[in-house]
Amino acid sequence: MNLKKPALILSAIACCGALLAACGSDDSSSDPVAVNDVWTRVTAPTATMGAVYMNLESADGDRLVSVSVPADVAGRAEIHETVGGSESEGDMDPGTTMEGGIAVEPAEDDDAGGDGMEGMDGATGEDSSMPDAMMGMRELEDGLELPGGEEVSLEPGGYHIMLLELKQPIAEGDTIPVTLEFENAGEVKVEAEARSTES
């Protein structure tokens, strides 16, 4: 009786199984989303809102469906878009205020000692009393689309992650853990570094 033939058959079956397993693992792993330049802006001591910015890119396309931060950082986090108006926080001087939808530069001889941000949200530099038609923010309830191979920027005056019900001010050098949930790539954890201006 030839024992070599059954041994060869078993060896061939084992090789095929290994190849199938390898193929299966390649197919099941989704292409991760590249997340770069994650930062958050320093807030005023009395601010109740903050914002997180970053750059996202997915080779095959994806969607950012939800975001979250620890409960000791903020009550909730949402994906937002700045809408309306020609002035945005990215375009305004830190001392600029909004009066009737018009940007007003602070007077040079202002002795009030304020930072020119009274009546404005400490995180975004937007006047919350302004009509939505001029400038405002809206939540992206369906998430943020990431077209394949294109970088999508979350930046001042555009898309951003809004931190609501801040538990404490965000100070220079702080780091905030942020969990991003993508439709295809799943959960990605990043840390946002706090800084006073975009760099």
pTM of the model: 0.64
Residue type, 85: G
Per the CB < 8 A criterion, the answer to whether 104 and 170 are in contact is no
Per the CB < 8 A criterion, the answer to whether 27 and 99 are in contact is no
| Same-domain status, 78 and 160 | yes
| Same-domain status, 106 and 127 | yes
What is the domain extent for residue 191? 34-195
| Same-domain status, 142 and 76 | yes
| Same-domain status, 111 and 144 | yes
Q: Find how far residue 29's CA is from the centre of its chain.
A: 23
pLDDT per position as a tens digit, 100-148 = 232 223 333 434 333 333 333 444 444 343 344 456 999 999 999 999 9
Query: Is a pLDDT exceeding 60 seen at residue 48?
Result: yes
Residue with tokens 């990043």: 190
| Same-domain status, 74 and 137 | yes
Tokens, residue 8:
């060869």
| Same-domain status, 158 and 76 | yes
What SS3 state is found at 15? Answer: helix
| Same-domain status, 69 and 153 | yes
Most distant CA atoms of the chain, gap in Å? 106
Number of domains in the chain: 2
| Same-domain status, 38 and 63 | yes
Tokens, residue 86:
């020609």
| Same-domain status, 24 and 78 | no
Domain containing 190 — which CATH number? 2.60.40.1890
| pLDDT given for residue 2 in this prediction | 53
| Same-domain status, 14 and 56 | no
